[in-house]
Amino acid sequence: MADDELSKVFAALADPTRRDIVARLTEDDATVGELAEPYDVTVQAVSKHLKVLEEAGMVTRSRDAQRRPVHLEAKVFDLMTKWIDRYQRQAEGRFQRLDALLARMDDEANLTDDQNETKQNTNQERGAS
């Protein structure tokens, strides 16, 4: 799937109603009428949302006798997951490098503190004798 198709997926998910429809479709296929029930909008408005999801490759519609259920396409989520995972791995790598740098800096600071304490003790011993 090309980057522009991934852009369509994320653009489709930018709308909270479409995200809710997708969440509901994760449980089971549903007709447009069933999907429209909880919303204070027309069936036509939900159909428009479904058209956006369909164009993004996120849902398909089939015919089951008189029903036309809407089905969520899992392969699109695999694509999104791979894309997100790639950047998550990169971010985790940066954080691991930062952690290592901070640990080295902390070790160096502790070493410097130990050296300064040793010098102070030596100077105090010299002053006491």
Confidence of residue 115 (pLDDT cuts 50, 70, 90): confident
Mean pLDDT (the chain, rounded): 87
The overall pTM is greater than 0.85: no
Cα atoms in the 13 Å half-sphere on the side-chain side of 121: 6
Contacts of 9 (CB under 8 A, 6+ apart): 56, 57, 58, 76, 79, 80
- What average pLDDT does this structure show over 49-69? 89
CA–CA separation, 86 and 53 (whole Å): 24
Q: By the 8 A CB rule, do 53 and 12 touch?
A: yes
Q: Which CATH architecture is the domain 3-72 placed in?
A: Orthogonal Bundle (1.10)
Which string of b and e fits 31-69 if b means at least 16 CB within 10 Å? bbeebbeeeeeeeeebbebbebbbebbbbeeeeeeeeeb
CA–CA separation, 68 and 62 (whole Å): 5
Q: Is the pLDDT of residue 79 over 60?
A: yes
Ranking 8-22, 38-52, 67-81 by mean pLDDT, the lowest is: 67-81
Confidence of residue 106 (pLDDT cuts 50, 70, 90): confident
Confidence of residue 112 (pLDDT cuts 50, 70, 90): confident
Q: Where are the domains of the chain?
A: 3-72
Amino acid identity of residue 116, one-letter, is N
Residue 55 structure tokens: 């164009």
* CB-based contacts of 43-51 (< 8 A; 24+ apart in sequence): 46/17, 46/21, 49/15, 49/17, 49/18, 49/21, 50/21
Confidence of residue 3 (pLDDT cuts 50, 70, 90): low
Q: Is the pLDDT of residue 93 over 70?
A: yes
How many residues are present in the chain? Answer: 129
Confidence of residue 98 (pLDDT cuts 50, 70, 90): very high
